Amino acid sequence: MKQAWPHLRQVLSFVLVGASSTGLYFLLLWALRGSIPSTFALTACCYGVSMIYNYILQSWLTFRAGPPTRRSMSRFVIMHLTAMAMNSLLMAGLVDGLHLPLYQTQIGVTLFISAMIFIVSKRWVYQS
């Protein structure tokens, strides 16, 4: 059990930071909705802020990777851009192609992509 604790702590931290960055995204979306008229600009701004927040906390709390580096920041951005593309492609294929229900499918895809992001973060983005 002692050996499992560091891994469990890391997984729990990853989930909590991810949930809080999602909460921050929606809070910003609500707070800034009247200030930024373009939906594209509004969502991009909110996503960007929540992504920076997520990077800092995942780096500091979850993976204990030390100070930010250009390498880890660029890998983080590449990972999230890839995850966004995977989400869009999977959702289009599953919902539009196979006619699966939208919300249930998004939950499943989100869980899958979150697991992939955890593995890629641990092995590539925040690699010591």
In the DSSP assignment, the letter for residue 116 is H
What is the reported pTM? 0.83
Domain definitions of the chain by residue range: 1-64, 67-128
Q: Give the mean pLDDT of 40-60.
A: 93
| Token digits of residue 112 | 């899958």
The answer to whether the beta carbons of residues 93 and 108 sit under 8 Å apart is no
pLDDT tens per residue, range 67-106? 889 999 999 999 999 999 999 999 999 999 999 999 999 9
